[in-house]
Structure 1
Amino acid sequence: MTDSTSTDLAAMLCSRLCHDMLSPVGALSNGLELLAMETDPEMRANVVALLEQSAAISTNKLKFFRLAFGAAGGFGDRVDVAEPRALIEALVADKNKIEINWAIETANLGKPAVKVLLNFAQIAIDALVRGGTLDVGAEIRDGNCEIVVRASGPKIAFDDTIGKALDGSLPAHELSSRTAAAHMIALLAEQTGGGLQYARTDDTLVMGAVMPEGEGLIG
């Protein structure tokens, strides 16, 4: 990856983060303005509850992006599976139409595998605009981490450009904040000797990855 392409990718990932943070942070700002004007105790209590909810959403999203996009702790570290599981559960906490099923057969994962798992989950959640089921699985086999994330629901929303970013066929000049995360994990898989694949129908999106159990770093 050239320096220019790396800079563009970083900028697009930042744009994605800012886009996703705008709503909960904006809600915090609006809530504080309401709190300053409101005098009714019951209404103030309602506003405080909304502020607490927005603060929790903001915190959870920042924790998610720190691990999904950033180099938190270094790329060579292993991560207890409870951490990505908690982050994914937090993402769907306010989406009562999405049910999660877990099938993770290992206690911890390498950092590159965790990044792929989290970004697969984010793509799958975005695809379930009308609700449905999110299945998340991972296991270690023959020195590799095998990851499968499946979204099942009515009228899956999946932009074909995200699929092209996942399989590496999207031209660099067509990258956007919408496809940057998929492009990032495709690069990560390639540079660690792994690979990604996906398949979709009108009501199912399945994404899979094979990631060697070793250190990886986007350079």
Structure 2
Amino acid sequence: MTDVSLELASLLCSRLCHDMLSPVGALSNGLELLAEEKDPEMRKRCMELLEQSARISADKLKFFRLAFGAAGGFGEQVPVGEPRALVDALVANNGRIEVNWALGATSLPKSAVKVLLNLSLIGIDALVRGGTLDIGAEQREGASEIVVRAAGPKIAFDPAVGEALDGSLSLAELSSRTAPAWMLSQLAAKQGGGLQYALTDEALVMGAVLPEG
């Protein structure tokens, strides 16, 4: 493993730990409350909160397994229902975001699924006040084409993430926040493809073209 790979893996792990801290912490707090609480109604409420935190934790782990990991258990092609279910589950925990899908293929290469998930995550992060997340993917002329549009009353987009997407951010400038986008730029470049993004006050639009083979 190269120094670059080690640095990227370290930063992706940091991002995963950061995102998992809240639901796992809620589980720990809930268990402490449950151990001390005697009132039946309050214990019932604690159990509901524990179930919610456990579900959120499981949803995030499944998402990151495919978004950051090697996607073991899948062949070279992944059914589109898999990433769709992962994004829908992630957004289900945020009632302020609505997801719309336009999928023109029944399956996508692993690399395309990884790009779709990570662009979706960037879009979700950008919708700090909620909004709509439109996700499209198709295969044509020997390439996977992916587009993600996040639109809402306030778009929060770190310029460094944009630099990571277009490949202009150096390895020395990487952080756990920009590492996923940088990973996508490297993946797209390796396949002879590319990433694009456009930002306005109302929307963030990101696209990717990934040639196959």
Question: TM-score, length-normalised on structure 1?
Answer: 0.95
- Cα deviations across residues 61-103 of structure 1 (Å, max 9, x unaligned)? 0000000000022786211111100100111112111111110
Report if aligned partners of 2:143, 2:209 keep a CA contact under 8 Å in 1: yes
Which structure has more RCO (C-alpha within 8 Å, separation ≥ 6)?
Answer: 1
Unaligned runs of 5+ in 2: none
1:66 alignment counterpart: 65
Report the 3-state secondary structure (helix = DSSP H, G, I; strand = E; otherwise coil) of the residue aligned with 1:7: helix
Taking the aligned partners of 1:81 and 1:103, their CA distance within structure 2 comes to: 11
Report the 3-state secondary structure (helix = DSSP H, G, I; strand = E; otherwise coil) of the residue aligned with 1:92: helix
Taking the aligned partners of 2:202 and 2:112, their CA distance within structure 1 comes to: 26
Report if aligned partners of 2:191, 2:212 keep a CA contact under 8 Å in 1: no
AA of the residue aligned to 2:39:
D
Taking the aligned partners of 1:76 and 1:162, their CA distance within structure 2 comes to: 30
Taking the aligned partners of 2:39 and 2:73, their CA distance within structure 1 comes to: 49
1:217 alignment counterpart: none
* 1:127 paired to 2:112: no
AA of the residue aligned to 1:85:
R
Taking the aligned partners of 1:163 and 1:75, their CA distance within structure 2 comes to: 30
RMSD of the alignment, in Å?
1.2
Report if aligned partners of 1:75, 1:112 keep a CA contact under 8 Å in 2: no
**Structure-to-structure mapping, 1:2-151, within 5 angstroms:** 3-73=2-72, 77-151=76-150
Taking the aligned partners of 1:181 and 1:75, their CA distance within structure 2 comes to: 21
AA of the residue aligned to 1:13:
L
Equivalenced residues, count: 213
Taking the aligned partners of 1:101 and 1:213, their CA distance within structure 2 comes to: 26
Inter-CA distance 171–16: structure 2 relative to 1 (3 Å threshold):
same
Report if aligned partners of 1:119, 1:181 keep a CA contact under 8 Å in 2: yes
Report the 3-state secondary structure (helix = DSSP H, G, I; strand = E; otherwise coil) of the residue aligned with 1:42: helix
Unaligned runs of 5+ in 1: 215-219
